[in-house]
């Protein structure tokens, strides 16, 4: 199993350009997440999805959109990139929460380093 994969690994954008980051998981996980990582701030949740066709906002959703058309894929879009979106982006997935069972954990991809100039 490849686990969680992310495409691309690196990208440089000019202000105002758009792009889409792709996340794919082969573990049949229901839940998928997009985080951004900035120095000293840990990981902050951008958007997440609890199943195919559903998405929800996280802590820092502004400037991003997402789609989950297939269970195994979760796309993160930047419509008009800004320098403040320079960051490392991580995708993660997990099993569905089921109260009463033991806890889950999130499985992370290797990250995408994005620079906006």
Partner 1 sequence: AQSVTQLGSHVSVSEGALVLLRCNYSSSVPPYLFWYVQYPNQGLQLLLKYTSAATLVKGINGFEAEFKKSETSFHLTKPSAHMSDAAEYFCAVSPNNAGNMLTFGGGTRLMVKP
Q: Which helix (H) or strand (E) holds 78?
A: strand 73-78
Nearest to 90 by CA among 58, 117, 50: 58
> Quick check: helix, strand or coil at residue 83?
helix
Closer to partner 1 by CB, 17 or 45: give it: 45
- Give the nearer residue to partner 1 in terms of CB position, either 14 or 98: 98
Which residues from 3-62 bind partner 1, rule CB under 8 A?
4, 31, 40-45, 48
Taking the complex as a whole, the smallest distance from the CB of residue 64 to partner 1 amounts, in Å, to: 17
Question: Of residues 7, 18, 110, 115, which one binds partner 1 by CB under 8 A?
Answer: 110
Q: Does 105 bind partner 1 (CB under 8 A)?
A: yes
* One-letter-per-residue 3-state SS of 6-75: EECCEEEECCCCCEEEEEEECCCCCEEEEEEECCCCCEEEEEEEEECCEEEECCCCCCEEEECCCCCEEE
Stretch that binds partner 1, among 12-20, 60-68, 70-78, 91-99 (CB under 8 A): 91-99
Applying CB under 8 A, which residues contact partner 1? 4, 31, 40-45, 48, 90, 92, 94, 96-97, 99, 102-106, 108-111
């Amino acid at each position: 199993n490849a686990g969680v994969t992310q495409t691309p690994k690196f990208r440089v954008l000019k202000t105002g350009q758009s792009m889409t980051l792709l996340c794919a998981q082969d573990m049949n996980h229901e839940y998928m997440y997009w985080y951004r990582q900035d120095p000293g701030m840990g990981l902050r949740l951008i958007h997440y999805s609890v199943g195919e066709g559903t998405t929800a906002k996280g802590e820092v959703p502004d400037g991003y959109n997402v789609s989950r058309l297939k269970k195994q894929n979760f796309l993160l879009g930047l419509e008009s990139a800004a320098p403040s979106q320079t960051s490392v982006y991580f995708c993660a997935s997990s099993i569905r929460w089921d109260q009463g069972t033991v806890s889950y954990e999130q499985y992370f991809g290797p990250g995408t380093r994005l620079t906006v100039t």
